[in-house]
Amino acid sequence: MELMVSTKNSPDWRDDSPAQEITDLKGMGEEEIIEFCLEAGEPAYRGRQIFSWIYAKGETDLDRMSDLPRAFREELARRARVGWLEPEKVEKGADGTEKFLWRLGDGNLVESVRVPMPLPDGKTRWSLCISTQVGCAMGCAFCLTAKMGFVRQLSAGEIVEQFLAARRLLPEGERYHNVVFMGMGEPLDNLEASVAAVRLLTHPKGVGMSPRRLTLSTVGIAPKLLEFVREVPGVGVAVSLHAADDVTRGKIVPPNRKWPLNEILTTCRNLPLSERQRITFEYVLLSGVNDSPEDARKLAGLLRGIRCKVNLLPWNPFPDVSFERPADSRVGEFRRILTQSGLDAFVRQSKGLDIRAACGQLADDDKIADRAGRRS
């Protein structure tokens, strides 16, 4: 029998032809699953039950959705599936950070990172960093993912699957406190799927996360940033600046040639944020490139009047690039200038360096090798 997998269109339940379309319910919203059930002649509340099973309970076996009639479950098994990910590889660093390598249905690989934060009471607060693309088209000079080039977009289902699969691997009784769209890829370059994934993660009858527990990181695609904030209000925004002038930024962040600093910061000033929200500005410090006291003073001037905080990230190294990580004293001086200018500035401690799970280190080595071979 020929099987075709779709994640968008529901099948015609009355079609008994040999070729049946198998619909993947993962990634579908509540209304889409309701429509799917209505086409099967089932009431709308069956769709709400399935939605809850998939996202709230993390169930992938249709037959275990016990409040559905058996006849309907049997028909579902013929017409639908719930896709899931199993880790191809799990690496654990000395600091407890874990990197998950997921193989997608077409064989492509993406990575997610789970970061523990021990609390004074002995408990652990967990954060998860997830990917939105296979590879990335932005080409940032200091980022290993950029060396893969852009391969393809992830669907909303594939983005959310990373969370659901990583949730199954948590210690019993634990949950993710924060989820950041900060893995492989530029989320705003995959805006539709990123918005859909946020809605699935925050749906009160599904995963049920507060929007405040989600953060999207972007190099600053200005028009799409405004659209994202309007579509899913309350979600945190982290804008990757990495330089305080357009000449420097254009050399290390190629999208700056299309969306220069002034356009990005004007957009940030006009974002419809709540009174409690602050924009996070990310700044990777590269020795001798963007880490001088003058750079710090220029950055402070650029951000004046914006409700924000600054995360300073000493560059996380990888082979075959000419950048260097700045000395701790240089990082401290940069931060001191920012704080003396009235900014809340923090030095973010890199997690998972020994397993190449820190910011800017996620990549599929085979894709990098293939791309390098094509260029040679």
Q: Is pLDDT of 281 > 90?
A: yes
Q: What is the pLDDT of residue 119?
A: 92
Distances (CA, A) of 344 to 41, 305, 364: 57, 12, 35
Helix (H, G, I), strand (E, B) or coil at 345: strand
Average pLDDT of the chain, as a whole number: 91
Q: Is pLDDT of 39 > 70?
A: yes
pLDDT per residue as tens digits for the range 241-259: 999 999 999 999 999 999 9
Q: What is the pLDDT of residue 319?
A: 80
Which H helix or E strand runs over 70?
helix 70-79
Q: 52 near 203, Cβ under 8 Å? A: no
Q: Span 292-312, mean pLDDT? A: 98
Q: What is the pLDDT of residue 351?
A: 80
Q: Span 351-375, mean pLDDT? A: 67
**Model confidence band, residue 360 (pLDDT cutoffs 50, 70, 90):** confident
Q: How many Å apart are CA 371 and CA 144, to the nearest integer?
A: 13
Q: Is residue 35 annotated as part of the catalytic site, yes or no? A: no
**Fold for the domain defined by 3-81:** DNA polymerase; domain 1 (1.10.150)
Q: Is residue 91 annotated as part of the catalytic site, yes or no? A: no
Both tokens of 144, joined, read: 């290993």
Q: What is the pLDDT of residue 350?
A: 80
Q: What is the pLDDT of residue 9?
A: 42
**Model confidence band, residue 18 (pLDDT cutoffs 50, 70, 90):** very low
Pick the CATH number of 87-375 from 2.30.30.240, 3.40.640.10, 1.10.260.30, 3.20.20.70: 3.20.20.70
Distances (CA, A) of 201 to 9, 20, 91: 22, 30, 25
Q: Is pLDDT of 369 > 60?
A: no
CA of residue 40 relative to chain centroid, distance: 34
pLDDT per residue as tens digits for the range 64-93: 999 999 999 999 999 999 988 999 999 999
Q: How many Å apart are CA 316 and CA 284, to the nearest integer?
A: 9
pTM: 0.91
Distances (CA, A) of 54 to 16, 57, 79, 209, 334: 27, 6, 16, 15, 46
Q: What is the pLDDT of residue 6?
A: 41
User: Of 19-23, 36-40, 188-192, which one has max mean pLDDT?
Assistant: 188-192
Q: Span 24-38, mean pLDDT? A: 96
pLDDT per residue as tens digits for the range 114-127: 999 999 998 999 99
Choose the catalytic residue: 30, 32, 98, 111. Answer: 111
Q: What is the pLDDT of residue 13?
A: 47
- The domain segmentation of the chain, as residue ranges, is 3-81, 87-375
Q: Is pLDDT of 230 > 90?
A: yes
Choose the catalytic residue: 37, 140, 308, 359. Answer: 359
Same fold, 3-81 and 87-375: no
Q: Where do we find the tokens 């905080």?
A: 309
